[in-house]
Structure 1
Amino acid sequence: MFNSLTKLLSARNINFCTKCNFALVKTNIPSSKDYIKDMPINQYVISPHKRNRVYVWGNLRTGALGIPHSKKKENIHQVMGFKSPKRMHFAENNNVMSVAAGFGFTLYATENEVFGTGINAESQIGYHEVRHDKPLGLLFAPMSIHLDAFSTVKNGKINKISAGRAHSAVLTNTGLYLFGSNAYGQCGRKVIEDEVYSGSRILNFVENIDGKKITDVVCGQDHTLVILEDGSVYSCGWGADGQTGLGHYNSTDNFAQIKGDVAGERITHLACRSDFVLALTDKNEVFGWGNTEYSQMSLSDGSQQVCNPTHLSAFNKIGKVTSVATGGSFCLALTETGDVYVWGFGLLGLGPLVQETKIPTVIPRTLFGHNEFNNDSKVVSVHAGLSHMAAITNKGDLYTWGRNRSYCLGLGFDKDQYFPLKVALGGAVKDVSCGLDHMIAVCNSYISEQVE
């Protein structure tokens, strides 16, 4: 019986094993090696124009991430925010050069156009009509911001964007545009009593100040600072904590020059996320002013508000400072050797037992990936949100720490972080902007590219 069955199966190209009682089917399928060899090769182009990639994470409900969200119950965590970086499709069609995170809104700049998304209750991302002249108060996708005459300028270029609590600044090669809330004169124009900012079409254009070109702009919470071509600094807006640096605590609705210890100095860099300012000169000297109630500055008379720029001599001991950043209650400074110093109050990156220090204290380099196998790695820039911090290395790695409000650290979990921790991103980070509860990172198209 088995012999006849074996012959029958063999005729049908099937072998039968009498020991194991199962059949083996003969096929003409080539070996895996030959099969793979003959397969067509498809090359997937990651970024045909080598555009920058943009990743966003944090609070999703304000629209600041520029990604519409689902309201399904099973996606409740996604409704609150993205715990990890999410790549923006908007940047695939627009070559985003820089970004600026405000309080619940975001600005994106290409070479000659600015876009905005998120909260627009005070026209901080421009006027956007729905119908019947009804303005949009919340945008869930980036929309172009019309900058009046600049839109028709030939060879127009966006040099810098900055975002405050509810106002924005766009520096172009023709001058500075300011828009949004002007309740304290932060847009550099006269304060109008009972002015309604919702649906406002007003743009304040400042071509120059005292005949000098504006080279940089930084928005604080409710004030604005600019650097002119000669290195002098001017400010306007809310000054109750001394953050305007004008020698008084009154608000001002036009740009006025900051003097004090910075008089005669050439300022190259300003940092202000809230109401305390750090300034860096071409000689790598550091100056500060504003709200110091959290030990941002230690003064002999115990003052908590400083309205005159003051030289911070303590930095002479830590080496040449190349970058500074300020948050709501803390500060950061970066030296040319790549050491990151922190001071003030908050989750400073020094562990759960150290939440306040009056003295600039270094965060160990090993926490930023420096070790004997990676001894050429060092931090090249520092950044600050209101209650969290970030650092970028020369390898293009991003590290974050601090309060994890609405997952703004991008680390994949919702707990606060006491030490710097690396964020998983699909590219080498070039720049990052920290908002109140969200972040945006601009990356190279290819992860092998390093940040200079």
Structure 2
Amino acid sequence: MLLRHSRKCTAGLQRSIHTATNTNSLWVWGLRSSLPPVTENVESIVQPKQIIEPIQQQDGKICSIAAGWGHSLIATSDGFSSTVHSYGLNRSGQLGIGRQSLDSCDRGVAMVSDDQIKFLAAGREHSHIVSQDEQGRTKLFSFGNNMYGQLGTGKCKHDSLVAEQVLETTPVQVDGIDGNITHIACGLDNTVLVTDKKHVYSMGWGPDGQLGLGPESSSDRSTPTLVPLMEGKHITKLAGSTDFSLVLTDEGKLWTWGNSEYGQGMLSRKIDRILEPLETGISDVVDIAAGGPFSIILKGNGEVYSCGYGALGSGKGIIETLEPRRVQIDEKITKIFAVQDMAAAISESGQLYIWGLGGHSGRLGLGHLEHVFVPQKVLFDDSPRIVLDLALGTSHAICICT
């Protein structure tokens, strides 16, 4: 594999999605400093804005997107090589472009590779790239904040006797993973991944049970560490964005671990810390999404249910539930997404619905800054758009449409 790390940044200024086609269009909204360059000289983009230059015209098809807590990753391929573009905050090196831009960057290139970019993932201030060669073998590259070992490189703050940041400002390959990576998700300061050998690994911050390693192992881990209770299970879905994880198996069983002080673990009760995976008993689940104090699931009939506290999508008067409660959307849903305090769903017809807290960033993309307590349709422009995928950051969003 030919791998080149670029430190290019043209100016100083969080769920991984994979897709690939030459005809896709890229749309963004939210806090401008977290996004690829747009023409408007404004702080926030409150409605979807199409990004044309330079990604669409120069760099080929869009392969994967991810949004973190103030930064964005976009992978493209021209048929010969793949490029990972990075934008936004770079205080901990989460853009992978080195130290020459320590605050933020409106266009950087973290990696150029002859291999396919299979997944991107972004946490609070850390990032991951999963590449795949022609034989289907995957490699994990990590960069950004590594204070708690969330990059999996074997380093963390506990290795030093003096107070100093532990960072990787360009991509570093991570070893110690058995099998090829099939899923990866970032929490705030932790990472969970799954391989085709039926292993689940976790690394990073662990005091709330984020790593799922059990009551005797709630400390941080700086290398990929097997989650014992998940061994041998075929994982079809993995979700995480803050301090808890959801996992779906091929048997349709939903498992959870980590923080559940608001009932977001979907166990019908509040539990401060779930230190090892617990089965929820909820069945017929086909997709999952983990917000902050809430979670959402998609049933086989296309209905969406939410649980926990906050962005439940059930109206202004309902902000907490310990039992899954249906989110009223007048279409069959095929994909769901969530981050700290907002959520979204894509319908069978390709329409995008969103709900949650608004604010100055305009991150809901609805043309205003208000909170939205029930799902509302996101409008793109005068032309019909079919939404394929979405990445939600805490203050921005990236969307792929036809």
Q: TM-score when scaled to structure 1? A: 0.75
1:299 Cα offset (Å):
5.7
Q: CA, structure 1 residues 253+128, in 2 after alignment: closer, same or farther (shift >3 Å)?
A: closer
1:127 Cα offset (Å):
2.3
Q: Which structure has the bigger radius of gyration?
A: 1
Q: State the alpha-carbon separation in 2 of the partners of residues 50 and 229 from structure 1.
A: 29
| Alignment match, 1:416 | 371
| Alignment match, 2:10 | none
Corresponding position: 1:85 with 2:56: no
Q: State the alpha-carbon separation in 2 of the partners of residues 311 and 413 from structure 1.
A: 40
What residue identity is the alignment partner of 2:372?
Q
Q: Identify the range of structure 1 (243-252 vs 291-300) with the bigger mean alpha-carbon deviation.
A: 291-300
Deviating runs (4+, > 6 A) in structure 1?
Answer: none
Task: Describe the SS at the equivalent of 1:304.
Answer: strand
1:53 is matched with which residue: 25, 28, 50? 25
1:136 Cα offset (Å):
4.4
Q: State the alpha-carbon separation in 1 of the partners of residues 83 and 401 from structure 2.
A: 19
Task: Describe the SS at the equivalent of 1:92.
Answer: helix
| Alignment match, 1:216 | 183
Q: Deviations over 1:232-252 (max 9, x none)?
A: 210100001101111132111
1:52 Cα offset (Å):
1.3
2:117 is matched with which residue: 114, 138, 158? 158
| Alignment match, 1:331 | 295
Corresponding position: 1:385 with 2:356: no
Q: State the alpha-carbon separation in 1 of the partners of residues 254 and 72 from structure 2.
A: 29
Contact 2:305 2:324 in 1 (8 A): yes
Contact 1:344 1:358 in 2 (8 A): yes
Among all aligned residue pairs of Structure 1 and Structure 2, give the percentage whose two residues are the same amino acid: 33
Corresponding position: 1:400 with 2:354: yes
Task: Describe the SS at the equivalent of 1:203.
Answer: strand
Task: Describe the SS at the equivalent of 2:37.
Answer: coil
Q: Deviations over 1:116-161 (max 9, x none)?
A: 00001111011256xxxx4342112x321136xxx3x4xx100000
Q: State the alpha-carbon separation in 2 of the partners of residues 331 and 256 from structure 1.
A: 25
| Alignment match, 1:177 | 141
2:73 is matched with which residue: 107, 132, 148? 107
Count of matched residue pairs:
359
Q: State the alpha-carbon separation in 2 of the partners of residues 424 and 138 from structure 1.
A: 29
1:219 Cα offset (Å):
1.1
What residue identity is the alignment partner of 1:92?
Q
1:348 Cα offset (Å):
1.0
1:126 is matched with which residue: 93, 96, 114? 96
Q: State the alpha-carbon separation in 1 of the partners of residues 298 and 269 from structure 2.
A: 28
Whichever structure has more strand as a proportion of its residues is: 2
* Runs of at least 5 residues in structure 2 that lack an aligned partner in the other structure: 1-20, 133-137
| Alignment match, 2:17 | none
Contact 1:284 1:322 in 2 (8 A): yes
Contact 1:65 1:438 in 2 (8 A): no
Q: Deviations over 1:310-365 (max 9, x none)?
A: 0001x13xxx1110001111000001110000010003110111100000111224
Contact 1:66 1:118 in 2 (8 A): no
Contact 2:30 2:362 in 1 (8 A): yes
1:63 Cα offset (Å):
3.6
1:162 Cα offset (Å):
0.5
Q: CA, structure 1 residues 301+399, in 2 after alignment: closer, same or farther (shift >3 Å)?
A: closer
1:51 Cα offset (Å):
2.7
Q: Deviations over 1:34-67 (max 9, x none)?
A: xxxxxxxxxxxxxxx943111111112x343433
- Relative contact order higher in (CA < 8 Å, ≥ 6 apart): 2
Q: CA, structure 1 residues 414+213, in 2 after alignment: closer, same or farther (shift >3 Å)?
A: same
Contact 1:98 1:442 in 2 (8 A): no
1:307 Cα offset (Å):
1.1
Q: CA, structure 1 residues 179+352, in 2 after alignment: closer, same or farther (shift >3 Å)?
A: same
| Alignment match, 1:250 | 219
| Alignment match, 1:144 | 109
1:206 Cα offset (Å):
2.7
Q: TM-score when scaled to structure 2? A: 0.84
2:388 is matched with which residue: 397, 405, 430? 430
Whichever structure has more helix as a proportion of its residues is: 1
1:179 Cα offset (Å):
0.6
* Runs of at least 5 residues in structure 1 that lack an aligned partner in the other structure: 1-48, 71-77, 371-377, 445-452
Q: CA, structure 1 residues 306+355, in 2 after alignment: closer, same or farther (shift >3 Å)?
A: same
Contact 1:208 1:214 in 2 (8 A): no
Task: Describe the SS at the equivalent of 1:338.
Answer: coil
What residue identity is the alignment partner of 2:91?
A
Task: Describe the SS at the equivalent of 1:135.
Answer: coil
Contact 1:59 1:65 in 2 (8 A): no
Q: How well do the aligned residues superpose, as a CA RMSD in angstroms?
A: 2.0
